[in-house]
Amino acid sequence: MYNTLIVEKNDHGYMTVSFNRPEKRNAVNFLLMEELETVLSNAAGDDEVKVLVLTGEGSQAFCSGGDLSEFQNLYTEEEAYTMLSRMGEILYRLATFPKPTIAILNGSAIGGGCEIATACDFRLARRGIKIGFVQGTLGITTGWGAASLLLEKLPVQNAMKLLLDAKIHSSENAKEIGFIDEIVDLEEWGEFAQGFLCHEPGVLMAYKKILVKKWQDGGLKRRMEAEIRECAKLWATEAHHVAVSHFLNKKK
């Protein structure tokens, strides 16, 4: 049993992992990190799992990023780096997971929520939800390494515009940019990967291995680590702390 995740397997080969903090818009805290680490380790070696699916509980949010009410006490560069690098390692493990991964955006994906979605192989979204790499509005950059991943997956101009603008986009607009693969009704998302499941796990894993090897050869992990370190420096600035304080006060 998990406190922050709901984990379900079905007979078709899916393992669905749902972020289960709807009262916090499924924001990531330290406990969720710990539980997600465990799930990824277990699922990687589970022969019954062909496809890993990440989604969120409720209809409001896939994931709203890091839980700033918990992380606001991280003040220095090194304090921030400890948290950011741990979640960055989780994202790298998710990106290089040995089987196909799908993010089902049932609700908004903001900040770190977009980073988690970026680490998945495919991103499906419900119509009309909000999506945005808004980290720039808080005086920081992507803190878990997702800019490096985004630049692997989207045309450079599209990826940089998403990051530099730090704007909120509709799921439809995010599909035009290339971040979202398909707009789906949540009840029908399984149709997207139906073709995957008729193949043996070894076939799916062999193709994923080719992709992972490309990233390993290209130094993806090193680039993600450098990105995380840059965010940690910005995290320690007064501009970031003022922005976080303003954000938290606005929510009260």
Does residue 83 form part of some domain?
A: yes
The answer to pTM > 0.95 is: yes
Please list the helix, strand and coil fractions of the chain in percent, rounded to the nearest 5, in that order: 55, 15, 30
pLDDT band at 126; cut points 50, 70, 90: very high
Looking from the CA of 135 toward its CB, the CA atoms found within 13 Å total: 25
Q: Which domain holds residue 26?
A: 5-187
Residue with token string 């950011």: 84
Query: Alpha-carbon distance 40 to 119, whole Å?
Result: 13
Residue 252, pLDDT above cutoff 90: no
- Tell me how many domains the chain contains: 1
Does residue 195 form part of some domain?
A: no
Cα 223 off chain centre by: 17
Residue 182, pLDDT above cutoff 80: yes
Query: Alpha-carbon distance 180 to 183, whole Å?
Result: 7
Here the CATH number for the domain that contains residue 48 is: 3.90.226.10
Burial zone of 70 (CB within 10 Å; 0-12 exposed, 13-18 middle, 19+ buried):
middle
Query: Alpha-carbon distance 229 to 221, whole Å?
Result: 12
Burial zone of 149 (CB within 10 Å; 0-12 exposed, 13-18 middle, 19+ buried):
buried
Query: Alpha-carbon distance 139 to 46, whole Å?
Result: 40
| Closest to 121 measured CA to CA, from 188, 208, 218, 34 | 208
Does residue 224 form part of some domain?
A: no
Across 168-190, average pLDDT:
95
Residue with token string 């193709």: 207
Does residue 251 form part of some domain?
A: no
pLDDT tens per residue, range 36-70: 999 999 999 999 999 999 999 999 999 999 999 89
What is the pLDDT, as a whole number, of residue 187?
87
Does residue 192 form part of some domain?
A: no
Across 160-166, average pLDDT:
98
- How many Å is the Cα radius of gyration of the chain? 17
Residue with token string 């916090």: 24
Does residue 71 form part of some domain?
A: yes
Does residue 209 form part of some domain?
A: no
Does residue 238 form part of some domain?
A: no
pLDDT band at 228; cut points 50, 70, 90: very high
